[in-house]
Structure 1
Amino acid sequence: MLKILATDGLDKSAVKELEALGHEVHEQFYEPEDLKEALKDYDVVVVRSATKVREPIIDAAAEGGRLKMIIRAGVGVDNIDVKYAEDKGIKVRNTPNSSSASVAELVLGHMLSLARFVGISNVTMRNGEWNKKKYKGVELAGKTLGLVGFGRISHELAKKASALGMNVIYTNRSGPKDDYPQYAYMELDELLKKADFVSIHTPAMKDGKALIDAEKIAQMKDGAYLINCARGGVVDETALLKALNSGKLSGAGIDVFEVEPAKNTDLLNHPNVSVTPHIGGSTSEAQMRIGEEVVEVIKSL
């Protein structure tokens, strides 16, 4: 029997299945100092993006001698010091197939909202404004979508965008993908110059700096749109706001922020910004798939 801690929640069906297998599951969020102590009593910890498992927490868990595995219930593992944990004998796993479709659909949702003023129309119409002439939008069909990073989420998004008639280009740190000849590979600087919509799909930078900073935004097409449903901090929010205010960018779709809950009110309230509160993987279907993958990972322990 394993004792399992889910710090950021877990689908109810997964909890029931784990309990049916004889395991004990606790769902509770801990602040970092408290988590260090708590993990001494668990065999497995399941985290989402809210919980950061850094070296001091790993040290405490290793000292306790009980923790066998850290599972990231989602795609990225940049909130976990993976190599450090594995060097301490603690396995690290994720659920890479679970939320790709959900995040890809949210990216499309932001793109459509920006292109057709859906989000801001919901605000202004409820304020009694009828801005029919003001909201002249653009169609996605025929536009070029530039994908920065080409993992599972990007693959899903590329398929969906292609079905809408978009031209898809991508860049990737490991170079072109031979399995996807229908999409054109190019270096980041070239992609930024050609894309009408740029969608970010990378983990956080190791040095903590923004991948898309003022210099990169300056390389983008005038009037382009920038979407970030990947990681907060990958886009420089100050530079982004400046580009929106100047008209360099027509709009931005943002699901992740440098500080969460988001506090950048100038960005949140900008009329050309579509915002959501880090809900990329927050669909019933994705959470069920995440739970199923978590169960399979634990079964393999």
Structure 2
Amino acid sequence: MASAARDIVQRPKGPSRTVSSSLGSSSSPTATFHPTLPHSRRASPKQLKPFATEDIKILLLENVNQTGRDILARQGYQVEFFKTSLPEDQLIEKIRDVHVIGIRSKTKLTANVLQEAKSLIVIGCFCIGTNQVDLDYAAKHGIPVFNSPFSNSRSVAELVVGEIIGLARQLYDRSNEMHKGTWNKVSNKCWEIRGKVLGIIGYGHIGSQLSVLAESMGMQVIFYDVVNLMALGTARQVPVLTDLLRDADFVTCHVPELPETENMIGPREFEQMKNGSYLINASRGSVVDIPALIDAMRTGKLAGAALDVFPSEPAGNGDYFVNNLNSWAEGLRNLNNIILTPHIGGSTEEAQSAIGIEVAESLMRYVNEGATLGAVNFPEVNLRSLTLDEPNHVRVIYIHRNIPGVLRKVNAILGDHNVDKQVTDSRGEVAYLMADISNVNQSEIKDLFESLEALSCKFRD
């Protein structure tokens, strides 16, 4: 009878593919959750219902941190790991039979790729951004996407502090000269950062942490954001971007990649900045018009700049930052007092470990329980885990179109059973229902699945 439940779980399509049985030795990936935090941090949990975790296939790309890999492997899942991203043709071949995929920023999960992922139930982005995934396509095919929006905030903020000091003192030019054998001891146009004005564009998790660090070093902080936010310390929000550009000695960008932020800093904005000011971009490569930045550096409008992100970035390490990738690459590399780094803002051991834990546990909770808390493209729904103290239970997860009358139809199907717990939520066109039913025998599970599958409100290819 356990095999019947497994067949229900692993149906590749249809909103009810995760109907879960908790009868004895359940084979459902939504029936259990094995906490990974030390017992000292939480009470000892009840024993939860086992299921055939070895049936879950996971593909991890781009050198996902060992902490995340270990969490998933300890669950008993089949975990395949690659240090790099894969070309699209290889990615399509690999993704066809996996249930979970974990990526970082280089792998592009487009509609063209996702339409081949016939068994995929969830995506994990082991990074902040999710613009590398077609979130709308994923949502409409019942695939939630999880990320780690906060875990590397401190690492990025610390990098920016280092770059502010490095630019103010021309450290990187002096270091490069020394490596070439040139001794060039100068103080001209080298500054302390104490008393200087830092302008932060985007006062989110990174911007606000940077604000505290900069103020502790004696800087005055102003920030611009599209929403009104409470300032930390003595930082001050300015009403328009022009005010920030006019007053800041250092301007740093911490905004998401959106149509509104594309080329947010371009020729007009550079003209509005102070003569001899500095620009730092550790957000997204599309935010700064780089040819305009090059012009501003060459004319002396900017005294320095630091870029950690670029409009087009190589898929792997190597000698790829050339004009074939971005037509202005050589001109950018030849500028003085400019720091160029290969998207390493969050690349610290601490940040990558924290990201690995956060995303892996989100994936695990979804596979084991169906919990969608923290999903970026999906309704957020959660129920407590089923335990061995609750025999003959089944968890029903139903992903459907958010249209009138669906709940009435679903509850008509569930109405012949004892529904212990039920929760539902919607986000745009996607609705998500989770229900735990007691006193269900194995012969009824297939009937539940087929009845839900027959409803016209499910998402279809």
Shorter-chain TM range is over 0.9
Give a deviation string over 1:227-286, Cα, whole Å, max 9, x none: 011111211110000000000000001111122233202212311201111111111111
8 Å Cα contact 1:256-1:277 kept in structure 2: yes
The alignment status of 1:50 with 2:106, answered yes or no, reads: yes
Query: What secondary structure, in the 3-state scheme, does the structure 2 residue paired with 1:75 have?
Result: coil
User: For 1:6 and 1:208, how far apart are their aligned partners in 2?
Assistant: 30
Distance change (3 Å), C-alpha of 1:141 and 1:181: closer
User: For 1:45 and 1:60, how far apart are their aligned partners in 2?
Assistant: 13
Query: What secondary structure, in the 3-state scheme, does the structure 2 residue paired with 1:123 have?
Result: helix
Report the equivalent of 2:313.
Answer: 260
C-alpha displacement at 1:136, in angstroms?
4.1
C-alpha displacement at 1:134, in angstroms?
5.4
Report the equivalent of 2:70.
Answer: 16
Count of aligned pairs: 297
**Aligned with residue 356 of structure 2, among 283, 291, 297:** 291
**Aligned with residue 303 of structure 2, among 247, 250, 264:** 250
**Aligned with residue 7 of structure 1, among 61, 69, 82:** 61
Distance change (3 Å), C-alpha of 1:194 and 1:179: closer
**Aligned with residue 219 of structure 2, among 166, 173, 193:** 166
**Aligned with residue 237 of structure 2, among 185, 203, 214:** 185
Query: What secondary structure, in the 3-state scheme, does the structure 2 residue paired with 1:26 have?
Result: strand
User: For 1:135 and 1:25, how far apart are their aligned partners in 2?
Assistant: 56
User: For 2:130 and 2:156, how far apart are their aligned partners in 1?
Assistant: 16
Report the equivalent of 2:294.
Answer: 241
Give a deviation string over 1:35-86, Cα, whole Å, max 9, x none: 233222111111111112222222332xx1x111111111122222223311
8 Å Cα contact 1:117-1:135 kept in structure 2: no
Distance change (3 Å), C-alpha of 1:54 and 1:138: same
8 Å Cα contact 1:116-1:135 kept in structure 2: no
Report the equivalent of 1:176.
Answer: 228
Structure number, greater radius of gyration: 2
User: For 2:261 and 2:171, how far apart are their aligned partners in 1?
Assistant: 33
User: For 1:251 and 1:281, how far apart are their aligned partners in 2?
Assistant: 22
Q: What residue identity is the alignment partner of 1:36?
A: I
User: For 1:56 and 1:208, how far apart are their aligned partners in 2?
Assistant: 26
The alignment status of 1:126 with 2:179, answered yes or no, reads: yes
Report the equivalent of 1:213.
Answer: 266
The alignment status of 1:78 with 2:131, answered yes or no, reads: yes
8 Å Cα contact 2:255-2:261 kept in structure 1: no
Q: Which has the higher contact order (CA 8 A, sep 6+)?
A: 2
Report the equivalent of 1:204.
Answer: 257
Report the equivalent of 2:164.
Answer: 111
C-alpha displacement at 1:135, in angstroms?
4.9
User: For 2:104 and 2:86, how far apart are their aligned partners in 1?
Assistant: 13
Identity %: 38
Q: What residue identity is the alignment partner of 2:296?
A: A
User: For 2:188 and 2:307, how far apart are their aligned partners in 1?
Assistant: 20
8 Å Cα contact 2:203-2:225 kept in structure 1: yes
8 Å Cα contact 1:224-1:251 kept in structure 2: yes
User: For 2:76 and 2:260, how far apart are their aligned partners in 1?
Assistant: 42
The alignment status of 1:269 with 2:321, answered yes or no, reads: no
RMSD of Structure 2 on Structure 1 (CA): 1.8
Report the equivalent of 1:25.
Answer: 79
The alignment status of 1:96 with 2:154, answered yes or no, reads: no
User: For 1:180 and 1:124, how far apart are their aligned partners in 2?
Assistant: 39
Distance change (3 Å), C-alpha of 1:103 and 1:135: same
User: For 1:155 and 1:84, how far apart are their aligned partners in 2?
Assistant: 33
C-alpha displacement at 1:102, in angstroms?
0.7
Distance change (3 Å), C-alpha of 1:135 and 1:276: farther
8 Å Cα contact 1:244-1:272 kept in structure 2: no
User: For 1:128 and 1:30, how far apart are their aligned partners in 2?
Assistant: 41
User: For 2:285 and 2:90, how far apart are their aligned partners in 1?
Assistant: 25
User: For 1:251 and 1:166, how far apart are their aligned partners in 2?
Assistant: 18
User: For 1:242 and 1:260, how far apart are their aligned partners in 2?
Assistant: 21
Query: What secondary structure, in the 3-state scheme, does the structure 1 residue paired with 2:288 have?
Result: coil
User: For 1:55 and 1:74, how far apart are their aligned partners in 2?
Assistant: 20
C-alpha displacement at 1:179, in angstroms?
6.1
User: For 1:145 and 1:5, how far apart are their aligned partners in 2?
Assistant: 42
Give a deviation string over 1:3-24, Cα, whole Å, max 9, x none: 2111111112321221111112
8 Å Cα contact 1:78-1:203 kept in structure 2: no
User: For 2:293 and 2:225, how far apart are their aligned partners in 1?
Assistant: 22
User: For 1:92 and 1:294, how far apart are their aligned partners in 2?
Assistant: 10
**Aligned with residue 60 of structure 1, among 77, 94, 116:** 116
Distance change (3 Å), C-alpha of 1:128 and 1:244: same
Gaps of 5+ in 1: none
User: For 2:73 and 2:139, how far apart are their aligned partners in 1?
Assistant: 27
Q: What residue identity is the alignment partner of 1:11?
A: N
Q: What residue identity is the alignment partner of 2:236?
A: A
User: For 1:94 and 1:35, how far apart are their aligned partners in 2?
Assistant: 20
C-alpha displacement at 1:299, in angstroms?
2.2
User: For 1:41 and 1:151, how far apart are their aligned partners in 2?
Assistant: 38
